Amino acid sequence: MTTTVQSELIAAIRNIPDYPKPGVMFRDITTLLGNPRAFRRAIDELVHPYAGTKIDKIAGIEARGFILGGAIAHQLSSGFVPIRKKGKLPHDTVRIAYSLEYGVDEMEMHKDALKPGEKVILVDDLIATGGTAEAAVKLLKQMGADIVAACFVIDLPELGGRKKLEALGVNVRTLIEFEGH
């Protein structure tokens, strides 16, 4: 069943066919971010299960996870930890390689960004194959984080990312789903 809030979020997202390559329907959240009501709704929906829970850090995945994660951190009075593509963080880092549709990339976070046992929520805009989020989960676990949940606005269920994270024992929260790539 699609709720009113879900319909509103779906309507706020712009769909761009064949971007960045033929056959991909790009789910563009910039229109949602530019819509004050939809942006607030998305943040409220992502946050509400954790209201009143002490969450030490929100870990946001570059780049769109920074925007959502910053707003969520503010709402939950948590700190924010950026997980960045390699070479962007200035201090000592932990780094992990991960697979993209074509080739591999690496992401990293600062070694002192988290203390073991801290409660962390991982945030990104979208989960597709789950390769990006899986790598982020591995980095967070390496740092000794207690991963409370991984939260995304959009799930592309056919690509299997949610199941991949759940197989790692991660509680996954998503707001809306789209069929296909």
Ligand X SMILES: O=P(O)(O)OC[C@H]1O[C@H](OP(=O)(O)OP(=O)(O)O)[C@H](O)[C@@H]1O
Ligand Y SMILES: Nc1ncnc2[nH]cnc12
Q: Which residues bind ligand Y (CB under 6 A)?
A: 24-27, 126, 128, 181
| Closer of 22 and 169 to ligand Y (Cβ) | 22
Q: How many angstroms separate the Cα of 45 from the Cα of each of 49, 51, 137?
A: 8, 11, 22
CB atoms inside a 10 Å sphere around CB 83: 27
Active-site option among 95, 101, 158, 166: 101
Question: Which partner in ligand X, ligand Y, none is near 57 (CB below 5 to 8 A by kind)?
Answer: none
Q: Minimum CB separation from ligand Y for residue 27, in Å?
A: 4
Nearest residue (CB) to ligand Y, 113 versus 165:
165
Q: Is 62 a catalytic residue?
A: no
In the bound state with ligand Y, the residue whose beta carbon lies nearer, of 21 and 115, is 21
Which residues, 6 or more positions from 153, have their beta carbon under 8 angstroms from its beta carbon? 9, 29, 32, 42, 46, 68, 125, 126, 174, 175, 176
Residue 95 host element (H or E): strand 93-99
Catalytic machinery residues: 64, 101
